[in-house]
Chain A
Amino acid sequence: MTKQVQQLDRVIIRFAGDSGDGMQLTGDRFTAETAEFGNDISTLPNFPAEIRAPAGTLPGVSSFQLHFADHDILTPGDAPNVLVAMNPAALKANLGDLPPGADVIVNTDEFTKRNLQKVGYAASPVEDGSMEAWRVHAVPLTSLTVKSLEGFDISKKDAERAKNMFALGLLSWLYHRPTEATVKFLRAKFAKKPDIANANIAAFQAGWNFGETTESFSVSYEVKPARLTPGLYRNISGNQALAYGLIAASVQSKLPLFLGSYPITPASDILHELSKHKRFGIRTFQAEDEIAGVGAALGAAFGGALGVTTTSGPGVALKAETVGLAVATELPLLVIDVQRAGPSTGMPTKTEQTDLLMAMFGRNGESPLPIVAPATPSDCFDATLEAARLALKYRTPVMLLSDGYLANGSEPWRLPEVLELPDLTVDFTVEPNADDGETYLPFKRDPQTLARPWAVPGTPGLEHRIGGIEKAEGTGNISYDPNNHDHMVRVRQAKIDGIANDIPALEVDDPEGDARVLVLGWGSTYGPIAAAVRRVRKSGGKIAQAHLRHLNPLPVNTGDVLRAYDRVLLPEINLGQLALLLRARFLVDVISYNRVRGLPFKAEELAGVIQDVIDSE
């Protein structure tokens, strides 16, 4: 039977099921197949904090959204074209996001009376006519899977668990995905359990064959490969890119990496990743708490290592005093904050941009430090290198603000040439630096950067003491002199402010140069804002876009850029934290747009907001 093949330019699929249904794995595999095929991709996993919430309930729903296209794309997509719902809870939790006409594949085996009741369905929505707006494909995924595995020497439970691979096979057929890598992956994943490996592969193939033969799907789809910038690509998540950025920073600075960290969602994967790469001389230290994590990193930095601590908002709060010590002792330190919804425990697996003001001001005393924020998952690599460059050059703690959306989202990454990475070599001080030629002055600053020298233990003749008590400029001896303190407060600030001359100017994207409204962003909102800007321009709207990578200090031309437009719109996933800073600093009446739902912005939503501001001109 030859089925019709329809060409599409882009597709958004959402896999949704119980947290035990393997939806993240299914999504990861579909992503890998799609990357191999050559589409541009952007992904958004969305899962509950509970490892296994009660089965079949709304809080237990885990999903994975994937946007792929034959052109370059910027976000995981607003609304799915296809929803795979493994049970009634998954259907109910996601149906509201589906536009009319979308395809819905439901696993009817799970639509039992009990499961329907669990989520408040009186009758099955698949049968009661309430889903007429969508194209529903009722597929008994579980029983088809079990049936396809008859003859395998595995338990019924193991057979049922392979249903996600059946679904993956069906979707792989529907979108003409290459399958060899998934077969290879399953063999490797279950290398020690060949029966399970074979069963999963069989289920995967059965899903594909089902698509080809069933009448439930009359059409399959093709999305041609995207024309991306030539180069070698891999798919990468933000956390993985960040971990690789740290390894690269260690290699490029020739300093051993020391990670002090305490497990916390959504940052733990950086610890996991780095602990796999000990052959780069990386020491990963799982500390007794957040404070010990940063303390050990700072101790290692004192000893000449590239000291790093990784955490999320609650951990940053605990580390504040030690970060202040790093400010006072002027030692390089990387503090990675993978932001999540707060306050307090908040929503650990959901994203937010609410730690900016904590990063800026969340320490006692005048305690400035540089802040860098990556814009996309793959940008986490470059942003980490930049944060390391600033920390090492200026002898200062640097805060890197990633977030849950970047951490778990993924996109194709054009691999950089190692030879083109920045040189981060550090010159340790090895000789006395005072005019007398004999004395070491640990706080005698470089006149250009205002950075202090860095002499590490083991260097003869440069023995010195540092600490959190105020120090005299030059000698570093304890000083309570009022004028010295005033000087030190100002010089620490001036050192950080001066970094503005060492970072790129804020670039504005305004193709025709006649926009009167600027939309500004920072961090992970880059994708949705840029996608919204495209939509607005496509419909004839004139809009300029700029995105801040350095939040402290800001690029030198920031004020000029803001003042060059009649209106500045600033969408943030907080209640206007950057807006507060910009208004205070530049007296520009920035228009804040804020949603704090634990989810990234949608491009359509932002396009509407941008258009409204343009129209109000």
Chain B
Amino acid sequence: MTNGNGRTGLALIPRATAKQTLKDFKSDQEVRWCPGCGDYAILAAVQSFLPELGLKRENIVFVSGIGCSSRFPYYLNTYGFHSIHGRAPAIATGLAASRPDLSVWVITGDGDALSIGGNHLIHALRRNVNLNILLFNNRIYGLTKGQYSPTSEVGKITKSTPMGSLDKPFNPISLALGAEAGFVARTIDSDRKHLQSVLREATAHRGTSLVEIYQNCNIFNDGAFDALKDPELRDDITLRLEHGQPIVSASKAVRRAASGGIEVVDRAGLAEEEILVHDARNPDPSVAFALSRLDEPAFDHVPIGVFRAVERPAYDTLMARQLDEAIAERGPGQLSDLLTGGDTWRVG
């Protein structure tokens, strides 16, 4: 089932009749992130991507939590709900579950999604409500002025951890895969083309899609992803994940390891058939999980792209189906029948 643009994820959402442009999605509000923030690039990428979907603008809703990234909805001329810290997936779940005709997006950050809202995130993923979750990961708390976050590396020196942070960070991709997510991807703020290609696949997926976007906070954690942007380094450390394609960087390749897992080795001298071919549609998430661990603990090899895109029924579809079945079995509910439905007796 598609709505004419080939995306099952958008099948129930009404299409725009007129052609849309980037301008249609810009709100009249002045954008107020710090100059140089990676959020600007993501906003521009999303604004210029939305016309491609061809959806009625009024059927798009952006829901956010709290944090720098969560100001995002104010800058888009769609419906928007800037909520409270960590709760955006819960609020969006109620909205999407009751309104399958909406394209619902959640904008969140590493603190919002993985610390205070961690519970809602994992449950949204396992339920598979029709949501696109964009997780801006800058590995720091920005809005509260620079404390370490649940994705900060161990030993991070910040205002709240002058002797270094102690806790092991979450890997958002591993977490999402562990939470039964059907669609999991990673992209980066500075690569608009790649970012938009990931959004294209995320919106095609019906159910919850989680897109981790590496985003630079130039004030409190500048350069966190420089290795992926450095022309000298990036091609060697970036492992592009493309379904059906061998997983390689310029100099490295991924292959099955004798241990039973996977490993990154020099590409030179490696036979083509030894290189692992990416299968995003594999129902077994274990290879996707193994790929998500390749950048641990250092940023030596970083897979970028769609880790997993496996369709299963979306929660809102199943919920609507139960209502339809209940009505099909016994007809629509009648209030008078309900009230008199128990053991009744008449007086007088």
Contacts and interface: CB of A to CB of B under 8 A. Distances in A.
B58 interface: yes
A278 B319 CA distance: 10
Given A278-B322, A278-B326, A418-B335, A38 B347 contact: yes
A251 interface: yes
B58 A461 contact: yes
Chain A interface helix/strand/loop/mixed: mixed
A280 B333 CA distance: 5
Contacts of B346: 230-233
Contact of B81 (A235, A299, A418, A460): A299
B87 A415 contact: no
B90 A229 contact: no
A463 B77 CA distance: 6
Contact of A292 (B123, B333, B339): B123
Nearest to B13: A458
B82 A232 contact: no
A608 interface: no
B164 interface: no
Q: How large is the interface on A (under 10, 10 to 19, 20 to 34, 35 or more residues)?
A: 35 or more
Nearest to B103: A457
Contacts of A307: 94
Contact of B344 (A299, A301, A415): A415
Given A234-B340, A321-B84, A292 B93 contact: yes
Contacts of A297: 94
Interface stretch (A162-170, A347-355, A465-473): A465-473
Contacts of A282: 323
Contact of B84 (A244, A251, A302, A322): A322
B33 interface: no
A230 B98 contact: no
Nearest to B88: A295
Query: Which of B90, B93, B102, B319 is most buried by chain A, counting CB atoms within 10 A of its CB?
Result: B90
A36 B80 CA distance: 54
A449 interface: no
B94 A300 contact: yes
A463 B325 CA distance: 34
Interface in B317-348: 319, 322-323, 325-327, 329-333, 335-336, 338-340, 342-348
A325 interface: yes
Contact of B98 (A231, A305, A415, A468): A305
A469 B94 CA distance: 21
A228 interface: yes
Interface in B131-164: none
A240 to B, nearest CB: 9
Contacts of A247: 333, 335, 338
Contacts of A414: 347
Query: Which of B78, B325, B347 is most buried by chain A, counting CB atoms within 10 A of its CB?
Result: B347
Interface string B66-99: 0000000110011111111001001111111111
A301 B117 CA distance: 21
Nearest to A304: B99
A466 B97 contact: no
Nearest to A243: B338
Query: Which of A236, A283, A302, A322 is most buried by chain B, counting CB atoms within 10 A of its CB?
Result: A302
Given A234-B340, A279-B331, A457-B59, A466 B82 contact: yes
Contacts of B81: 299, 302, 329, 465-467
A505 B207 CA distance: 51
A183 to B, nearest CB: 13
Interface in A282-309: 282-283, 285, 287-289, 291-292, 295-305, 307
A341 B332 CA distance: 39
B102 A457 contact: yes
Nearest to A301: B94
Contacts of B348: 228-231
A557 interface: no
A27 to B, nearest CB: 15
Interface of B: 27, 29, 56-61, 63, 73-74, 77-84, 87, 90-99, 101-102, 119-120, 123, 319, 322-323, 325-327, 329-333, 335-336, 338-340, 342-348
8 contacts: A38-B345, A234-B339, A260-B90, A292-B93, A302-B95, A416-B339, A463-B80, A467-B82
Given A35-B343, A303-B102, 20 more contacts: A232-B346, A233-B345, A234-B344, A258-B94, A280-B338, A281-B327, A281-B332, A291-B90, A292-B119, A292-B123, A298-B94, A299-B91, A299-B98, A300-B99, A329-B81, A457-B59, A458-B56, A458-B101, A463-B58, A463-B78
